A = this chain, B = another copy of it.
Amino acid sequence: MKVFSRLVFVSLWAVVVLAAQDRPPNIVIIFGDDIGYGDIGVFGHPTIRTPHLDRMAHEGQKWTNFYAAASVCTPSRAGLLTGRLPVRSGMMHDRVRVLFPESWSGLQQSEVTIAEMLKQKDYAAMHVGKWHLGHLPDYLPTKQGFDAYYGIPYSNDMDATQPGDKRRHALLHPDRIDYWNVPLMRDEETIERPANQYTVTKRYTEEAVKFIEKNKDRPFFLYLAHTMMHVPLFRSQEFTDRSMAGIYGDAMEEVDWSVGQVLDALRRNGLAENTFAVFTSDNGPWLIFDTHGGSAGLLREGKGSTWEGGMRVPAIVWRPGTIPAGTTQTGMGSTLDLMATVAAMTGTKMPDDRKMDGYDLGGAMKMTSPSPRNEMFYWRGTRLFAARLGDYKAHFFTQTGYRDRGETRQNPPLLYHLGRDPGEEHDISRENRGVVARIRKLAQEHELDIDEVENQLAKIGDRN
């Protein structure tokens, strides 16, 4: 009898273990807003303390040549979730660079998101945080494969309640939460307006942890996109005046705390080894806001620009037991690659009826093969400003971040070697005309590969 019951127990245990092994990994994408390349301890910031992100890197892997899909918010997010350059989905425009409360379009339902792809394996999927791919009913997360949504659907500096001349002051003095009349939504309903942004990082975190706890016995996809570090900066009482680095440091340290809470929830529930977690940012730091904007470290320029500081972002990937701990990957990667990487590791299939722009980075994360990505295209609106091939980057046009002094056509293109000169300081186009010609050809072929599509960001204001 005893032997029999032990047998039953062992068999049951084997079934549970096999089922668990069979279960595809959970996917957690934590996306920061306007967090610069240099804003994190392990990426070199000297006074912002990020022990949880540092630990994530010590247990996981830092990517130092990792790019957002665009240098501003809306197109960057469209690229991450679809694995396609936002210029393919109509989510980039030369002047209307992001969606606004007055926009009446968004990411089209014909686009397939990572959440929709994972439905092939019945993943539970939740989006917590900033969406910014359309706030009207047809464009919400719940229409793009997410079972649930909780968050502020666009940027936290929108819906200003007072005229523009008070705006900059309000952006830099977060004493009046109600200056920004942004909604907080649950699923398809607004539940709070203006959203209390003081506690938004904390509440996003609570929602994320609750989702993990609730779904610990089935595969899940958590897409946690913080409203921070977009100005106006807010942080909860526990983090107020806690950092050496002012309000920016306070808010960043709360985002870091949030990362710790999410990873702890995974560890606590025995899910660490079967979860692939990524931390990255939607674009570079918003430098026009002085100490309320972050830092790109040694990279040039910031948000809005196609210099490296605008699009190269901090990135940490984590899957204990699979991704070797404490390693650094200097190969190229992009948020555009997350869909292909997730597809490969979950055994799901990306759409095959359209052009995709991602690579499976799984081998590079395991350090068993080099990164398959060898090129990067830097779009600004609907025009290709720069392209990288291997270590070389050519700029065909340059323009500084958000200070709209207009573009400069570079002919011949500027050329930088990003290995030796990551700060893009020494133009070497004269000595390397062959390299310039090769990148120019690559860029031309790439542009020919982009089909014309209906622009969704142009759909703003008066419909007539």
Contact = CB atoms under 8 A, between A and B. Distances in A.
B328 A41 contact: yes
Interface residues of A, number: 45
A46 interface: yes
A420 B245 contact: yes
Contact of A246 (B46, B58, B245, B419): B419
Interface in A381-439: 391, 417-423, 425-426
A429 to B, nearest CB: 15
Contact of A326 (B58, B62, B425): B58
Contacts of A425: 290
A38 B45 CA distance: 10
Interface in A30-62: 37-38, 41-47, 49, 51, 54-55, 58, 62
Contact of A42 (B42, B246, B299): B42
Contacts of A243: 419
A122 to B, nearest CB: 38
Nearest to A247: B420
A423 B309 CA distance: 15
Contacts of A391: 244
A330 interface: yes
A24 interface: no
B291 A420 contact: yes
B46 A38 contact: no
B420 A44 contact: no
A153 B45 CA distance: 35
A47 B422 contact: yes
Contact of A420 (B54, B246, B327): B246
A422 B297 CA distance: 10
B55 A44 contact: no
Nearest to A243: B419
A425 to B, nearest CB: 8
Most buried by B among A47, A49, A243: A47
A300 to B, nearest CB: 12
A298 B299 CA distance: 8
A246 B295 CA distance: 25
Contacts of A328: 41, 49, 51, 54
A46 B299 CA distance: 9
A249 B420 contact: yes
A312 B45 CA distance: 13
Contact of A419 (B51, B244, B326, B417): B244
Contact of A47 (B45, B64, B245, B426): B64
Please indicate which of the listed interface residues A37, A244, A425 has the most CB atoms of chain B within 10 Å of its own CB: A244
A276 interface: no
Given A54-B326, A65-B47, A328-B51, A421 B298 contact: no
12 contacts: A45-B64, A46-B64, A46-B312, A47-B418, A51-B327, A58-B326, A249-B419, A249-B420, A291-B426, A295-B423, A297-B297, A298-B298
